[in-house]
Amino acid sequence: MLISKIHKVLAIAARVPGNRQRFLDAGLLETKTGQLVEHWREKFPNLQPIDKAEIRNSPGLFLANASDVVYRGTTSGSRGQVLTYFAGEEWNRLRVAARMRSLRWWGIDDSIPIVNVASRLQPIRSVDVTLAGEIDEGFLTRLLEVLSVRPAVVRGYPSRLCEVASRLYGKSLPTVLGVIVTGEGWFEFQKSLLERVFDAPFIDEYGCQETGISGLTCPEANRLHLDSDRCLYEVIDGQLVTTDLYNFTMPMVRYCCGDVVELEETPCSCGRKGLTATVCGRVEDTIETSRGRVFSGNVKLPPFPGILNYQVIRRETSIDLILKEVVEKWSDRNLEPLDNWIRHTFGNLEIRYFGKPPSPPEVPPREVLSEKDWISQLTSGSWGDLFDRSLPQGNIAAAAKLLKQAIDPSIISGSGISEATRNLAIAVSQTPTTGNPDIDRTIGRILLFANTVLGGDELLCDRAVEILREAEGDRFSDPTQFDLYLLSLYQKTEKLQSILDYRPCQIDRFNIHHSLYGFEGAIATARNRNSPLTKSLNPLLAIFIADLNFFASRFHTAILASWRELIWNREIWEISRITDADSFLTAWLHLRRAFWKNRKTPEILEAALTKLRETAKTPQEQAKAILETGYVNLLLEKQLDSEFWLTTAMQQSQNLDRTLEKGEFDPLPWSPILRNIAQGFLNGGKPELAYQCLLASAPPSSRVSAFERLAKHCNRKQSPIFEIRDR
C-alpha cells in the first residue's frame, strides 16, 4: 500500500521540471522516456533531498497540476521569506481528518474550542478563535472572557504562551482543558509554568504544513506520534526528510524541513502504531556548551524557584540571562541555582543578568474626532485613517466601537464574529434613538453593517429599519437604500424588495465598505445553494468586487438587483422597466441575467456579449467588455488561451481601473480567468507563469485581512535559548 502511494507521487513528481535533474542523478528516470525506472525502489535512497530555499527560488518548477488547487498555504516566514504552496482536495481532506483524529486522543472533539493565543495561528474550525496582538491588560481580559464562555483548549507558541502565563500567574482562571504548544521547541521550565498556570495537560503539536507533516503527543506516554499515513518519514544526517504522499498538485519529495529529530526505536506504550519522535530543534540552531556544540533543543532549561520565565543568550565569552518574569524579590540568593546551572551547562563564563524588558514606547494617540467629523469621514473619507484614530465620544461611541470591532476585530473567530461583538450589536440595537437624524442614521446603518457581518439577524435588521425610518422618514436616501437592499443578497427578506426603486443611486464610502462584507455573505449563500456559478466563475467574490469598482461612480440600484439574481438564480425584476440607465449598463444587465438564466445557451450569451461590446465607448467600458468576454468563456467551459488572456489582462488592467499606478496590475477582476489559464501555461511548458497565475488568483477574504492585521505585529517566535556569535 505504502509502496504504491510512493510510486504514485514519484511518478507525478518526476514530470515536474524542478525535480528532473535530481531524479536523473539518482537514476530514478529512464533517460529516453523520462518515466520512472522499473527498479525505482532501489534508486530512491540516492535521491538528493531538497529544501525550502531551493523550492522558493523557482516554486513554479515544482507545480504538477494547476487545476486541483483547493489548499493554498504559506509558510510562516520566521526564517526568511515565505513560500506559497498549493495542494489539492484529497490532501486537504486527509489533513483535516488527521488533525481531528489526533485531537480526539485528548477528548478534544468539534464542540471544544481551541483558543490560539498571541501566535500567528488561524482558527481552523468554526468553534476556534484567535487572540493576537500586544499582551497587555486588554489582551488578558479578552482571553479570560473567551475562556469563561465555555471550557476550551489554549494553543500557541510556547514562548508566547509563557508570556501570557507569567502575567496570569497567581490568578484564578476558568477551566482550561489542555495547552497545545506548537511552532517552536519547548523547554522544561515552560512546560512547568504552563501546567501550573492553566492547570491543564500539556500537549505538544508538531507540524510542517508544506510537507504534510503533522504530529501530536499521546496522553498515555507523552510521546510525539507522527502521522505516518500521509507522509513517508526518513532521517538523513539527523534531519527529518519527508515525502508527502498526497500532494499531487505541488509534490514534495524528499523535502528537508530543517528540523533535527530523533526517531524512537521502540513502539509507544500507548499502543498506537506508527512512528514516534523527539524534535531537537532547527538544524541551524546549535549552541556551544561544556559538552561541546549541541542543538539548542537538547539543552535542558529547568524551572527555577521564583523565576517564571527566562531566556538564555550564549555569547562567545559570556552568558546573558534575561529574567523575564519573577515572583520573588531578586537577590543573590535566588540567583544562585541559576549561576550553578549555567556553570554546569556552559562552563565558567561571565554571567550577565538582565531584567524584564521595558514595554515598547507608546505611540501618542491621534486626535479624537468630534461626532460630526467622525460621521462625515465615515461616509466620505478614508476608513484606514478613521479607524487608526481613537473612537469618538458621545452618543455615537457604542456604535463606533461596534463598527471598529466588526472590521478590525481583536478576536478572530472561526465562525465569523466573536460573542463580544454580537453582544455589543444587541446592546446598540436596544439603545433609544437620540433624536439627532445624522447620529441616528449612522447608528442605523452601523446596525445594518453588523447584521451583515453577523450573517443576518432578523431582529437587528428590523430595529435598524426602525431607527432609519425615524431618521429619514419613509423615503430613504440613496446610501440607506443601498445598505438595506444589500442585505437581500444573503438574507431572505422579502419585504425589502418593495423598498427598492430602480434608479441611479449616489452611493457613499460606507456603502462600498459595507458591500465588501455583504458580498462575502452573498457568495456563501450562493455556495450553500450549490449555485453552479460559484464553480465556473471562481472566485465569484472577485467578480462582484470588480463590478463594484467599475460601477461605483455611476451606480444604479438595478446593479444590486442583478447581483441578487445571480446569487438566488431567480428573476426578480424586469429590465425593460429601467429607462434611466445608459446603454452600456443596460447591455451589461442583460448579459448578467444571461449568466445564470442562459448559461448553457451560447447563442444568447454571445448575443448579449456582442451588444455589450457595441455599447462600450470609453476605454474603461471596452476593458470591462473584454473582461466579461473572459467570464462568458468560463461559463461556457471553454479552455482559454493562456498567452492571450494573460497579455490582455495586463494590457487592460490600467484601463479598467485608472487609480492604478503605471506598472501596477490589479489581479482581482481577472482572478477567475488567471485561475483557468494556469493549467494552460503548465501544459505549455511555462510552469513559472502557471504558478504566478495561481498566486495572483488568490481568493479575496476579509478574514485573512483581519487576521493579518492583528497577527503581524506581535506574534513573533522567541526561542528561550540561542547563540550570538560575537564579531
Helix residue spans in 2-51 (DSSP H): 2-14, 17-25, 40-43
Grid cell for residue 724: 550570538
Closest C-alpha among 235, 277, 231 to residue 253: 231
Cβ 417 vs Cβ 402: under 8 Å: no
Rounded CA gap, 704 and 30, in Å? 45
H helix or E strand, kind and range, residue 224: strand 224-226
- Binding to other proteins by residue 175, rule CB under 8 A? no
| Of positions 507, 541, 616, 682, contacts other proteins by CB under 8 A | 507
- Residue by residue, DSSP assigns 7-18 as HHHHHHHHTSHH
Q: Which residue, 169 or 665, is less far from other proteins as judged by CB?
A: 665
- Binding to other proteins by residue 668, rule CB under 8 A? yes
Rounded CA gap, 698 and 91, in Å? 19
- Residue by residue, DSSP assigns 196-213 as HHH-S-EEEEEEEGGGTE
What does DSSP say about strands 292-295 and 286-289: parallel, antiparallel, or unpaired? antiparallel
Rounded CA gap, 564 and 427, in Å? 30
How many angstroms separate the Cα of 428 from the Cα of each of 21, 141, 424, 432, 447?
64, 22, 6, 9, 8
| Of positions 491, 586, 692, 719, contacts other proteins by CB under 8 A | 692
Rounded CA gap, 375 and 390, in Å? 14
Q: Which residue, 17 or 174, is less far from other proteins as judged by CB?
A: 17
Helix residue spans in 325-370 (DSSP H): 332-346
Q: Which amino acid is at 594?
A: A
- Binding to other proteins by residue 387, rule CB under 8 A? yes
Instruction: Write out the binding residues for other proteins, residues 647-666 only, by CB under 8 A.
Output: 647, 650-651, 653, 659, 661, 663-666
Cβ 189 vs Cβ 299: under 8 Å: no
In sequence order, the 6+-apart residues with CB closer than 8 A to the CB of 668 are 542, 545, 546, 549, 700
**Phi/psi at 201 (nearest 5 deg)?**
-65, 145
Least distance to other proteins, CB of residue 453, Å: 11
| Of positions 268, 591, 656, 689, contacts other proteins by CB under 8 A | 689
Least distance to other proteins, CB of residue 375, Å: 16
Least distance to other proteins, CB of residue 378, Å: 11
Q: Which residue, 472 or 688, is less far from other proteins as judged by CB?
A: 688
Q: What secondary structure letter does DSSP report for 270?
A: T
Using alpha carbons only, give the angle 296, 286, 357 rounded to the nearest 5 degrees.
60
- Binding to other proteins by residue 688, rule CB under 8 A? yes
Least distance to other proteins, CB of residue 708, Å: 5
| Of positions 509, 527, 590, 613, contacts other proteins by CB under 8 A | 509
Q: Which residue, 36 or 257, is less far from other proteins as judged by CB?
A: 257
Instruction: Write out the binding residues for other proteins, residues 296-355 only, by CB under 8 A.
Output: 311, 313, 320, 322-323, 330, 332, 335, 339, 350-355
Helix residue spans in 503-582 (DSSP H): 509-528, 533-536, 540-551, 557-568
Q: In whole angstroms, how large is the CA radius of gyration of the chain? A: 29
- Binding to other proteins by residue 709, rule CB under 8 A? yes
Q: Which residue, 77 or 274, is less far from other proteins as judged by CB?
A: 77
Please give the size of the binding site for other proteins, defined by CB under 8 A.
84
Q: Which residue, 27 or 700, is less far from other proteins as judged by CB?
A: 700
Rounded CA gap, 718 and 712, in Å? 15
Q: Which residue, 173 or 512, is less far from other proteins as judged by CB?
A: 512
Q: Which residue, 142 or 513, is less far from other proteins as judged by CB?
A: 513
| Of positions 512, 575, 604, 607, contacts other proteins by CB under 8 A | 512
Least distance to other proteins, CB of residue 512, Å: 5
Least distance to other proteins, CB of residue 318, Å: 8
Least distance to other proteins, CB of residue 697, Å: 8
Instruction: Write out the binding residues for other proteins, residues 364-383 only, by CB under 8 A.
Output: 364, 382-383
Q: Which residue, 24 or 552, is less far from other proteins as judged by CB?
A: 552
- Binding to other proteins by residue 51, rule CB under 8 A? no
Q: Which amino acid is at 137?
A: E
Q: Which residue, 127 or 540, is less far from other proteins as judged by CB?
A: 540
Least distance to other proteins, CB of residue 663, Å: 6
| Of positions 234, 408, 419, 462, contacts other proteins by CB under 8 A | 408
Instruction: Write out the binding residues for other proteins, residues 419-438 only, by CB under 8 A.
Output: none
Least distance to other proteins, CB of residue 86, Å: 13
Grid cell for residue 33: 522516456
Least distance to other proteins, CB of residue 31, Å: 26
Q: Which residue, 243 or 286, is less far from other proteins as judged by CB?
A: 286
3-state secondary structure 436-480: CHHHHHHHHHHHHHHHHHHCCCHHHHHHHHHHHHHHHCCCCCHHH
Rounded CA gap, 573 and 380, in Å? 31
Question: Which residue stretch of 219-227, 435-443, 584-592, 702-710 sits at the interface with other proteins (rule: CB under 8 A)?
Answer: 702-710
Closest C-alpha among 299, 298, 334, 303 to residue 319: 299
Rounded CA gap, 429 and 420, in Å? 14
- Binding to other proteins by residue 606, rule CB under 8 A? no
- Binding to other proteins by residue 360, rule CB under 8 A? yes
Q: Which residue, 76 or 228, is less far from other proteins as judged by CB?
A: 76
Q: Which residue, 25 or 336, is less far from other proteins as judged by CB?
A: 336
Instruction: Write out the binding residues for other proteins, residues 235-274 only, by CB under 8 A.
Output: none
Instruction: Write out the binding residues for other proteins, residues 532-551 only, by CB under 8 A.
Output: 545, 548-549
Least distance to other proteins, CB of residue 30, Å: 28
Cis peptide bond N-terminal to 539, omega within 30: yes
Going through 237-317 in order, the beta strands assigned E by DSSP cover 239-244, 255-263, 276-282, 286-289, 292-295, 307-314
- Binding to other proteins by residue 79, rule CB under 8 A? yes
Q: Which residue, 177 or 323, is less far from other proteins as judged by CB?
A: 323
Q: Which residue, 246 or 588, is less far from other proteins as judged by CB?
A: 588
Least distance to other proteins, CB of residue 615, Å: 20
What does DSSP say about strands 213-217 and 202-208: parallel, antiparallel, or unpaired? antiparallel
- Binding to other proteins by residue 492, rule CB under 8 A? no
What does DSSP say about strands 239-244 and 231-236: parallel, antiparallel, or unpaired? antiparallel
| Of positions 6, 82, 168, 221, contacts other proteins by CB under 8 A | 82
